[in-house]
Amino acid sequence: MRTYLPVLAVFNAVLVQCSELVGIRELVQRRLPAHADSFTFTKINGDGDVYTVTDAPEKQGRVTVECTTPSACARGLYAYVLWNIRVLELNRRSPRYLTERGGLDIWWTGSRFENLPPSLPSVGQPLSGSAIVPYRYHFNTVTFGYTTAFWSFDKWELLLDWLALRGVNLPLAWVGYEHVLVDVYREAGLSESEISAFLSGPAFLPWNRFGNIQGSWGGPLPPQWIDDQFKLQKQILKRMVDLGMTPVLPSFTGFVPRALSNHYPNTSIVTGSQWAAFPTTLTNVSFLEPFDPLFVALQKSFISKQREAYGNISHIYTLDQYNENDPFSGDTAYLRNVTANTFASLRAADPDAIWLMQGWLFIAGSSFWTDERIEAYLGGVEGTDSMIILDLYSEALPQWNKTQNYYGKPWIWCELHDYGSTMGMEGNLPELTAGPITALNSPGSTMKGMGLTMEGQEGNEIVYDIVLDQAWSPTPLNLSSYVERWVSRRYQVADLPESAQSAWSILSSTVYSNRDSKTQATIKSVFEVAPALTNIVDMPGIEPTLVPYDTNTTILPSLQLLIRAASENKALLQIPEFQYDLVDVSRQFLANRFIDLYRNLVTTFNTSSADAVASDGQPILDILRDLDALLATNEHFLLNTWIDDARQWAHGNETYAAYLEYNARTQITLWGPNGEINDYASKQWAGLIEGYYLPRWEFFVEYMVEMKRSVTPYNATFVSQKMIDMGQAWDRQVSGKSSGVIGDSFEMAKKVLEKWA
């Protein structure tokens, strides 16, 4: 018996290794089915995330990927697929599939891995890489509202593969939270209606989870939603684990239904938060103080139920109590007490618990959060391995350097970039590459990760890609060669015209090298903002309308070059990523031209006649019609996609579908039922322009003409009230039959150029 033990131990170790990498093999089967047997993945010992890719010995066309972690194996596979760029350059194999310089990638618009040539190029000189930080992180709590709220598993599957291949190992996993939470409240004695009064609608759950809002407008959250999302979460978590990721799981935050205080009259519950302009019925959320024994009890209940549902898959928990909610006392002893007890509750429920926190509070509540308060608050959690802080907006408003590296706590360098999932082109590639390296190498650095915390994932894919690539390079990436290779694999045609590269060379050195500190975020277009006479152009901030570059020398020539590239090589028009970019750059061109037309209209209104106003109003309406027609040519720019994704969860129940549609429409327009954060999550989508923004501008132009004719002063209150009324009417609409893509992107792009350049 004794003699067999070591053998058995070795055998078990091998089994563990194999099962750990099963998910990576499944990734190959999913994305490269023709090559399912061509890759061998082997786990090796070593620190950190390291991979080596080599030709399999004596096996032509087979590749071995050795790795210290499953995440490193996925990254190694990715490196090989991107890298065979160079092999093809030498051998010019399969030019039918690939350019001499273009490898393959998987994009938000879809996977192109299936274009790998039937016979795998040899690796030659081994390829190796290692992550410069232990954590590669993805998601913001609100991405689960702005981007993935209505996603079904097929969309999740694409994104999770995108993340795994890029080496992400720490994704946030909020889906289905309410299922466990409702069970906890039931067990605590709350009735269904008491619980339901607390929960927000499907499009607004992230802010309910943050304790910013409570309740749902347009009807309560249906139990069916809670059950369906729970099932979806099980699929998502299984896949994350298979792909070698550690999901960051929810926990009990302390935000509770109002009625909890009736059931537990002696508990310590505070209220009084006021988020945005919401009425107190929808904000003023009840917060159970962490030092109350009931807090620990609910935390234990939550985490044990969650573990029962999903297994013992992670010890990292997301928990934010003061995101855009200031604490109820600024007393440092109180703040220390809150974190000490919150953390104690996590450890009581899971002895290995690590608390992950979004660092946004220190930016949003900067007048509250003095250095002493931050230090007390973080200091309540003992130890340096107990907490991870997301430095949420590192590219523009880093906090790590104001807080002595969060007073010694590990933190993650995060790119935020996008607020409300708005769609303008913008990026700061120099900062996204140099910034994290500087932070990592700074004296006393406790930086332990890099990641993406965009509020919404909308376009600008290059600025997200580059951060995850930078996480595998100890020196800042060379931007010109990075962009060139990125473009080559994005537009994988034989003989990629130089004009396509030139277009991106302009964009990457201007629009995507934006150093203007007033506009470090996606640029919002003026036509998405409720029409007004003042204060809508040139606004700085997190949703800037100030355009920090000259359109005539950036967007315009890039668009001309992309059109030229497509004329030179028609094969480009079959590439989904090229189609996307062609529409996106054309869209940005029209959006920026609109600003000139708007300025002109206002000047005319101030200085000229009613007829002149009527006349100068026409081009701004005309450009919106053209924009809608342009966007309608591409599936990624359709309002219908957002609405159809929402409605699908109703399984044919019309009442439920209408409720979901109301949620979907409201989030991207009024947000709150009465325009509480009006137009914050605006979009440039076909259907939304024609059906919503255009009527608003038509009203505005007509109103201006009328005021001129009747010599009546412009009434800004009246106009803004009218915009809310129009929003409420639009939000209540229910879609008829959904229309798909209409028209041809190339023809529309040419028309845009001819007409508006």
Ligand X SMILES: *[C@@H]1O[C@H](CO)[C@@H](O)[C@H](O)[C@H]1NC(C)=O
The closest of 656, 637, 545 to 222, measured between CA atoms, is 656
Select the residue interacting with ligand X from 258, 305, 347, 750 (CB under 6 A).
258
Residue 739 CB, nearest approach to ligand X (Å): 25
Residue 431 CB, nearest approach to ligand X (Å): 8
Q: Where are the beta strands (DSSP E) in 367-423?
A: 387-391, 411-415
Select the residue interacting with ligand X from 386, 513, 648, 653 (CB under 6 A).
653
Residue 713 CB, nearest approach to ligand X (Å): 7
Closer of 445 and 653 to ligand X (Cβ): 653
What residues have CB less than 8 Å from 159, skipping those under 6 apart?
108, 148
Residue 480 CB, nearest approach to ligand X (Å): 5
Closer of 59 and 732 to ligand X (Cβ): 732
Cβ pair 522, 419 in contact under 8 A: yes
Residue 162 CB, nearest approach to ligand X (Å): 26
Closer of 187 and 654 to ligand X (Cβ): 654
Distances (CA, A) of 543 to 143, 585, 612, 690: 16, 19, 32, 22
Closer of 421 and 428 to ligand X (Cβ): 428
Instruction: Name the burial class of residue 452, with classes exposed (0-12), middle (13-18) and buried (19+) by CB atoms within 10 angstroms of its CB.
Output: buried
268-300 burial: b if 16+ Cβ within 10 Å, else e: ebeeebebeebeeebbbbbbbbbbbebbbbbbb
Cβ pair 107, 159 in contact under 8 A: no
Residue 7 CB, nearest approach to ligand X (Å): 25
User: What is the x/- site pattern for ligand X, positions 214-243, by CB under 6 A?
Assistant: --------x---------------------
Residue 268 CB, nearest approach to ligand X (Å): 7
Closer of 144 and 278 to ligand X (Cβ): 278
> Per rule CB under 6 A, is residue 300 in the interface with ligand X?
no
Select the residue interacting with ligand X from 297, 440, 571, 602 (CB under 6 A).
602
What does the alpha-carbon distance between residue 530 and residue 27 come to, in Å, rounded to a whole number?
A: 45
Residue 520 CB, nearest approach to ligand X (Å): 10
Select the residue interacting with ligand X from 42, 442, 609, 721 (CB under 6 A).
721
Write out the binding residues for ligand X, residues 264-283 only, by CB under 6 A: 265-266, 271, 280
Select the residue interacting with ligand X from 291, 328, 407, 699 (CB under 6 A).
291
Residue 344 CB, nearest approach to ligand X (Å): 8
Closer of 138 and 485 to ligand X (Cβ): 485
Closer of 320 and 616 to ligand X (Cβ): 616
What does the alpha-carbon distance between residue 23 and residue 485 come to, in Å, rounded to a whole number?
A: 28
Write out the binding residues for ligand X, residues 309-328 only, by CB under 6 A: 312
Write out the binding residues for ligand X, residues 85-124 only, by CB under 6 A: none
Count of positions on this chain that bind ligand X (CB under 6 A): 34
Residue 362 CB, nearest approach to ligand X (Å): 12
Greatest pairwise CA separation for the chain in angstroms: 102
Closer of 42 and 609 to ligand X (Cβ): 609
Write out the binding residues for ligand X, residues 509-538 only, by CB under 6 A: 533-534
Chain centroid to CA 195: how far? 29
Cβ pair 457, 636 in contact under 8 A: no
Residue 464 CB, nearest approach to ligand X (Å): 20
Rg (C-alpha) for the chain, rounded Å, is 27
For the chain, the distance separating the N- and C-terminal CA atoms, rounded to the nearest angstrom, is 84
What residues have CB less than 8 Å from 456, skipping those under 6 apart?
142, 143, 146, 147, 418, 419, 420, 421, 422, 681
* Dihedral Cα 348, 354, 358, 363, nearest 10 deg: 90
Please tell me whether residue 675 adopts helix, strand or coil conformation. Answer: coil
What does the alpha-carbon distance between residue 583 and residue 438 come to, in Å, rounded to a whole number?
A: 36
Select the residue interacting with ligand X from 107, 368, 407, 656 (CB under 6 A).
656
Q: What DSSP element (H or E) covers 70?
A: helix 70-91
| CA angle in degrees (0–180, nearest 5) for 83-88-91 | 140
Select the residue interacting with ligand X from 17, 122, 235, 284 (CB under 6 A).
284
The closest of 319, 298, 148 to 236, measured between CA atoms, is 148
Cβ pair 491, 575 in contact under 8 A: yes
Stretch that binds ligand X, among 361-369, 580-588, 635-643, 716-724 (CB under 6 A): 716-724
Closer of 45 and 534 to ligand X (Cβ): 534
What does the alpha-carbon distance between residue 489 and residue 492 come to, in Å, rounded to a whole number?
A: 5
> Per rule CB under 6 A, is residue 606 in the interface with ligand X?
yes
3-state secondary structure 279-306: CCCCCCCEEECCCCHHHHHHHHHHHHHH
The closest of 238, 251, 254 to 290, measured between CA atoms, is 254
Closer of 384 and 721 to ligand X (Cβ): 721
> Per rule CB under 6 A, is residue 603 in the interface with ligand X?
yes
Closer of 328 and 656 to ligand X (Cβ): 656
Closer of 129 and 202 to ligand X (Cβ): 202
Residue 288 β-bridge partners: 269
Residue 481 CB, nearest approach to ligand X (Å): 3
Closer of 42 and 193 to ligand X (Cβ): 193
Write out the binding residues for ligand X, residues 459-498 only, by CB under 6 A: 478, 480-481
Q: Report phi then psi at 135, rounded to 5.
A: -110, 130
What does the alpha-carbon distance between residue 421 and residue 499 come to, in Å, rounded to a whole number?
A: 30
User: What is the x/- site pattern for ligand X, positions 345-364, by CB under 6 A?
Assistant: -------x------------
The closest of 752, 79, 159, 681 to 461, measured between CA atoms, is 159
Cβ pair 364, 273 in contact under 8 A: no
Write out the binding residues for ligand X, residues 384-403 only, by CB under 6 A: 398, 401-402
Tell me the residue length of the chain: 757
Closer of 338 and 566 to ligand X (Cβ): 338
User: What is the x/- site pattern for ligand X, positions 150-189, by CB under 6 A?
Assistant: ----------------------------------------
- Residue type for 418, please? D
Residue 745 CB, nearest approach to ligand X (Å): 23
Summarize as ranges the residues that interact with ligand X (CB under 6 A).
222, 258, 265-266, 271, 280, 284, 286, 291, 312, 337, 340, 352, 398, 401-402, 478, 480-481, 533-534, 550, 552, 599, 602-603, 606, 653, 655-656, 715, 717-718, 721
